[in-house]
Chain A
Amino acid sequence: MQTFTPAPVVEMPERNVPSIIEMKNVSKRFGKGKPTIRDLNFSVKQGQIFCLLGPSGSGKSTTLRMLNGVYRPSEGDVRVLGVEPYKFGKSTRAQIGYMPQQFVLFPELSTIENVNFVASVYGMSWFGRREKVRKALEFVDLWEARNRLASQLSGGMQRRLELAATLVHQPKLIFVDEPTAGIDPILRAKFWEHFKSLRDTGRTLFVTTQYVTEADYCDMVAILNRGRLLAIGTPEDIRRNAFGGEIINLSLGEINGSIVRLLKSLPDVNRVQVISSESIRLTVGDTGETLPEIINLLQQNNIEIQTIEPYRPDFEEVFVRLMETDNANLPADAEEVHE
C-alpha cells in the first residue's frame, strides 16, 4: 500500500480549524409527503473523517446528495466550503470529490482511461493529469492493472478504481457513499487506511456507512435513523452517551438485593444491571474515578470480588442500543427513508 501522494492541504491550528460542512435545521421532503430528513444539525471540521452511520434507508444518501448539491434542502441551511451546495460554482466543485455508492465508471474503458476520463471531466489537461493519474492509481494499487478493462477487474478493484477516480483531481473535500458495502473485511480495512492517509494530508472525508464497526475509524460519527440524527460526536462520546456513561463489569460470589442497594448508594454509579446470579454491570460517569471507590466499598463490606473490569462495548452494541431506544420513542407511523 502506498502512502498518499497528492499534495497535502494546508493544516491549521486546532482552534482555528473552520467548519467545512455545516447543516442547520435541515429537512428534506420529496413531493408533499412527510420529510425524509428532519432537523439535521451538525458541522464537519476540515481534516476530519466524518462518518454518517445508519441502517439502510435511514437517509444517508439523501443527506450526502444535499451536501454535494444534487438535492436542495426543503428547509434549513446547508453550507459546504462556505457555499450553499445547489449554488456550487465550478471552482467549488473542483475542490470536491465524490465516490458514489455503486460502480459508475465505464466497463468498456481501461482502468487508466476511466481515471483519465474523470480527470478530463474536472478540466485537467493531458500534461497536467499524467502524473496525477499515475499517483492516484498507485495509491490504490492499480497501476499494474492500468491497462485492464474495468469490466475485467474484480469487485474490490473496481471500488479502488472508483476511489482513484475520486482522488485524481486532489479534492479538498471527499464525499464517499458506502465505500465498503459488499467488499471483504481485508479490503475494507485497506479502504480505511486510504481514508486515514487522506485525512492525514489535511483532507476532509465525509463517509456514509452502514457498517457500525467502522465508526471507530472515524474522528466524528453521526448516527442517523429514519431521517433523524440520533447521536453525534466522537466514537467514545457516542458509546458513553448510548449507555448513560462508562461501563464496569463486576463478578461476585453471590449477588443479592443488599449488594445492589450498596452499589447504587455510590454517587457516581448511574445504573446497576444484574446480568446473572454472580455478575452485575454498572454504568458510571468515569471509570477511572469510580472503579477504586467500588473496590473500597465492597472490601469494606467484606464482599469478595472475583473480577472487576471496565467494559468497552463494541459499536455494534452501541448502535443497537441507540436504535432500540429510538424505535421505542418513535411514533407508530414513522416511515423509512427511500434513498
Chain B
Amino acid sequence: MFLYQIIVQIFAFVRKELFGALRQPRLILSLVLGPFLILALFGLGFQGSSRYNTTLVVPNQPDISTNVADYKDLDKQTFHLVNVTKNEVEARAKLDQGETDVVIVVPPDALDEIYNGRNAKFPAYYRSLNPIQANYIEYSTYVYASEFDKVILRQAIAASKPQTAQLKESTDQINSSTDALDRAMQSNNLIEAKLQAQRLRTATQVSRAALNSLILPGNSPANSNDPQSKVLGGRVTDTIVKGGTGRAKTDLDNIDTKLNALDDGFNRGDANSAPQRANLESIRQSNASLSDQSNKVANIPPAVIVEPVLSEAKNLASTKVSYINFYGPAVVILLLQHIAITLASLSNVRDRLIGAIEIFRVAPIGPTQILTGKFISFALMLLVLGVILITLNNQLLGVPFVNLQANWIWALAVIGVTIYASIGLGYLVAGLSRTESQAVQFSMILLLASIFFTGFVVPLSQFAEYVRYIGYALPMTFGSANLQGVMLDNRIPDLPFLLIPLGLGTVYLLLGRYLYRRQFNIG
C-alpha cells in the first residue's frame, strides 16, 4: 500500500508536467518544430567554405587586359573574381568600403625579381576581424601560390628535356667510343687505343654534365642531409636518387675508374691483356646500365617530377562527409540537452515562485518523489522529441542512419543517458537559481559553453587541458560524439562515453535533490 501510494504520488507529477506541456501547443511546436527548423536552416543554408569577392590588380601596361572574362581560370573556389583593375589605390579603397573582400596585386616586376634570384611576391590584402576567415584566406593564398609554383616548375622541367636528350646522346657516344677502343685494343694499336680512351673520357664528362643539369627530385647534393630523408617523402626521394640519377652517377664513376685502369695498362704497353679486356667489359656494362637509366629518366613526365608523391587519403567512415551529416546528430543532442536543462530548471523554480512548494511541503510527499515524477515526464517528452528530431533529420534533411535496424537501440541509449544527465543538470541549475530569469540565464550560459567547449564547433583537443574539463562536465560532449558514431559510422557507442554522462547525471541529480530539499526545509 505504501509503495502504491508512492507510485501514485510520483505519477501525479508525471501527469501534471505532461498535461501542462500538452496544454501549451505553442510549447510543443517550439519544442519540436523550432529545433528542427533551426537544424534544417543550418543544414540547408550552411555552405561550408566561403567565397570571397576578389579584385585583381594587374600591372599598368597597355597589353594587359582588365576584362574579368579573360581571367576566368583564376576564378577558383575561394576567390571569386569580380573585378580586374590597374588601379591599386582604387581597389584598396573598395576593400576599405567593404565592396570587395580580397585584393590580389600582380607586381609589374615579378619576372625581374625571379631573374634576379628573388621570390616574386603577389600581395593579397583583406580586411577581416574573424580569425577563421583570416586563416582561411591566408591559407588559400598559400595554396594558390604553390599551385602557381608548380606550373612554373612543370614548364622548367619541360624546358630541361634537351638535357635528357643530351644524356641519351652521350651514352650513345660512350657506346661507339667503347667499340672503337675495343677494335684498337684487339689490333694492339696502343696509340689508337689511347686516343679512343680519351674520346671515351670526354663523352663521359659530357654525360656527367648532362646528368647534373637534370631537374629531378633529390638530384641535388644539398638534399643528402635533408631532415626529410627520415620521413616518407624523403625516403621516396632517396629511392629515386638511388634508382635513377644516383645509379647513373655510379655508372659514370665506374667508367672513369676503368678508363684510368686501361690508361695505366696502355702506359705499361699492355694493349689487350685479360685484365685490360675485363676493364673494357666493365665499361660496356656500366654504359649499358647508364643508357638504361637515362632512358628511364627521359620517360618521366614533368608533372610526375614536380609532384612525385601524391596523397591518396581514404576516409573509412561509413557515410559521406558533409556538414549537415556531421552537425545533424550533434545538434539533436545539443537541443535535447538545452531543452532538458530549461524544462527541469524552470519547472522547479516556477513551483517555488508560485508557491506550489508550500503545498508540497505540507503534503505527505518528499522531494525524491516530486523530482522523480518530474524526471519521468521530462524524460518521456525528451525521448519522444529526440526520436522525432532524428527521424526528421533522416527523412527530410537526408542525414544517414547507417544500419538503423541494428543501431536504433544504441541511438536510444545515447539519447537516454544524455537526457538523464541533462535533467540532472537542470535540477542543479534550479537549485542555484532564485528566479526564472536566473534559470534561463544559467541555461543560456550552458548552451554557449556547449557550443564552444564540447567539440561541436572547435575540436576539444584544441583547448588547454583545464578548459577541456568544462566540456567533460557537459553531457553533450559525450552524447554528440556517440550519436555521430552510431548514426553515421555504424559504430557501437563508446562505453566510457555512455558511463561518464551516467555518472555525471547521478552527481547532478543528487546535488539538485540536495538543493531542492534545502528549499523544502526553509525554516
Contacts and interface: CB of A to CB of B under 8 A. Distances in A.
Interface of A: 65-66, 68-72, 86, 89-91, 93-94, 96, 98, 100-106, 108-109, 113, 116-118, 120-126, 149, 165, 175
Interface in B352-389: 354-356, 358-365
Interface stretch (B6-14, B111-119, B287-295, B488-496): B6-14
Interface of B: 4-6, 8-9, 11-12, 15-16, 19-20, 23-24, 354-356, 358-365, 522-523
Given A69-B361, A91-B364, A120 B354 contact: no
Contacts, number: 87
Contacts of B354: 102-104
Contacts of B12: 117, 120-121
Given A66-B523, A108-B24, A124 B8 contact: yes
B363 A93 contact: yes
Contact of B8 (A86, A98, A125): A125
B359 A121 contact: yes
A96 B362 contact: yes
A72 B364 contact: no
B523 A117 contact: no
A70 B365 CA distance: 13
B20 A93 contact: no
A120 B8 contact: yes
A71 to B, nearest CB: 3
Contacts of A102: 354-355
A121 B360 contact: yes
B505 to A, nearest CB: 26
Contact of B364 (A68, A94, A101, A126): A94
**Which 10 A-B residue pairs are closest in the complex by CB-CB distance?**
A71-B523, A120-B12, A123-B5, A90-B364, A93-B364, A104-B355, A98-B362, A108-B23, A108-B20, A104-B356
17 contacts: A68-B361, A69-B362, A72-B523, A96-B362, A100-B359, A104-B354, A108-B23, A108-B24, A109-B20, A120-B11, A121-B9, A121-B363, A123-B8, A123-B365, A124-B8, A125-B4, A165-B359
Nearest to B5: A123
A132 to B, nearest CB: 14
Contacts of A72: 523
Contacts of B8: 120, 123-126
Nearest to B350: A106
Contacts of A116: 15
Contact of A122 (B15, B20, B361, B364): B364
Given A70-B523, A98-B362, 9 more contacts: A71-B523, A72-B523, A102-B354, A104-B356, A108-B23, A108-B24, A118-B363, A121-B365, A126-B8
